[in-house]
C-alpha cells in the first residue's frame, strides 16, 4: 500500500520545500495543507505542519534523478512538445520480470518530452539526440505523482491530450495506443542493469508531434503547452527562449 494518493512537492513563500499527500491531481496555489519537510518524513508520518503552497515543484524526491525516454511506444507514432505518461521507480531494481515490475513503481505523472529540433538534425547531432533533450528545464513533469493503486482505477481508459495555445495536437487513449506497458518497459530496462530508486521513465508519445507534420509546427517563444492525462492531472508550461535562441527550437 502506498503512503500517498496524490504526492505533491512544493515551495512555500520563503522558499522552503515540502511534500504533501494532496486530495486531488490539482493542488491549489495559496491553499494550506499538512505537509512534511522530506518525502521520507511523509512516509513515516513525522514532523508535519500546516503550510501554504506557493510554487509547485516536480513531484518526486530530490535526488540525482536519471531520466529514461522510450521511443516509438505508441502505434500511432510508430506508423516538439511530446505529451507522455511517466512513471517513477520506488526502489533499486535489476533483472525484474514484467510480473514483478509493478512492485518497483512508486507512481505515475504527466511529462513533456521537449526537444530542440535544431540539434536533432543529422549535421548537428551526428545521430545522437542526447544534447537536444538535455537543456536546462527540459522534461518537465507534474503536477502530482499518483499512486499505482489510485491510477489503476482509470489507467486502461486514460486519455492523453496535448494542447498548444489551446489547440489539440495529440489525443489518444493510452491503453489502446501504447505498445509496451510500463511494467514491460521497466522489466526490459532492468535486464543486467541496476535501475536506481526515483528514476524517471518517459514511456513514449503518440502521434501529433509538430516536427512530423506538414508544414512542420515547431514551438515558439511564448507558446502555452498543456499535457493532460485523465486521472493524473494537467501539466502546464510556457515556452521561454533564452536570448539569441529564437531560431533553434
pLDDT tens digit sequence for 25-56: 999 999 999 999 999 999 999 999 999 999 99
Residue 71: pLDDT band (50, 70, 90) is confident
Residue 245: pLDDT band (50, 70, 90) is low
Cβ within 8 Å of residue 225, ≥6 positions away? 81, 112, 162, 163, 164, 219, 236, 237, 238, 239
Residue 209: pLDDT band (50, 70, 90) is low
**Residue 240: Cβ-neighbour burial (10 angstroms; 0-12, 13-18, 19+):** exposed
Residue 69: pLDDT band (50, 70, 90) is very high
What distance in Å separates the CA atoms of residue 77 and residue 42, rounded to the nearest whole number?
A: 39
* Cell 507512481 -> residue: 107
Count of CB atoms situated within 10 Å of the CB of 89? 25
Q: Which domains does the chain have, with CATH numbers?
A: 6-57 (no CATH), 67-238 (3.90.850.10)
Distances (CA, A) of 137 to 58, 113, 153, 239: 11, 11, 31, 10
* Cell 512530423 -> residue: 212
Distances (CA, A) of 128 to 82, 132, 133: 18, 8, 10
Residue 78, pLDDT > 60, answer no
For Cα atoms 41, 43, 44, give the angle at the middle one, nearest 5 degrees: 60
The 10s digit of each residue's pLDDT in 111-163 is: 999 888 777 777 777 777 778 888 889 999 999 999 999 999 999 999 999 99
Report DSSP letters for 193-219, one per residue: SPBPTT-EEE----S--GGGSSS----
pLDDT score of 215: 62
Rounded to two decimals, the pTM is 0.92
Cβ within 8 Å of residue 22, ≥6 positions away? 5, 6, 7, 8, 33, 144
Count of CB atoms situated within 10 Å of the CB of 114? 20
Q: Are 246 and 234 in contact (CB under 8 A)?
A: no
Residue 213, pLDDT > 80, answer no
Amino acid at each position: 500500500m502506498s503512503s500517498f494518493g496524490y504526492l505533491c512537492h512544493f515551495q512555500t513563500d520563503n522558499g522552503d520545500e515540502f511534500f504533501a499527500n494532496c486530495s486531488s491531481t490539482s493542488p491549489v496555489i495559496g491553499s494550506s495543507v499538512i505537509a512534511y519537510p522530506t518525502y521520507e518524513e511523509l512516509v513515516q508520518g513525522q514532523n508535519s505542519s500546516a503550510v501554504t503552497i506557493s510554487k509547485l515543484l516536480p513531484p518526486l524526491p530530490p535526488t540525482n534523478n536519471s531520466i529514461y525516454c522510450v521511443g516509438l511506444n505508441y502505434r500511432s507514432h510508430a506508423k516538439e512538445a511530446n505529451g507522455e505518461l511517466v512513471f517513477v521507480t520506488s526502489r533499486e531494481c535489476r533483472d525484474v520480470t514484467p510480473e514483478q515490475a509493478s512492485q518497483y513503481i512508486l507512481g505515475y505523472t504527466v511529462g513533456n518530452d521537449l526537444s530542440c529540433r535544431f540539434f536533432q538534425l543529422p549535421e548537428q547531432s551526428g545521430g545522437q539526440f542526447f544534447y537536444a533533450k538535455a537543456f536546462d528545464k527540459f522534461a518537465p513533469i507534474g503536477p502530482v505523482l499518483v499512486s499505482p493503486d489510485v491510477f489503476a482505477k482509470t489507467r486502461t481508459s486514460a486519455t492523453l491530450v496535448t494542447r498548444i495555445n489551446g489547440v489539440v495536437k495529440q489525443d489518444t487513449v493510452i491503453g489502446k495506443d501504447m505498445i509496451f506497458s510500463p511494467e514491460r518497459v521497466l522489466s526490459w530496462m532492468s535486464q543486467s542493469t541496476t535501475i536506481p530508486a526515483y528514476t524517471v521513465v518517459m514511456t513514449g508519445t503518440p502521434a501529433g508531434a509538430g516536427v512530423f507534420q506538414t508544414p512542420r509546427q515547431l514551438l515558439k517563444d511564448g507558446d502555452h503547452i498543456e499535457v493532460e492525462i485523465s486521472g493524473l492531472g494537467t501539466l502546464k508550461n510556457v515556452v521561454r527562449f533564452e536570448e539569441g535562441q529564437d531560431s533553434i527550437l
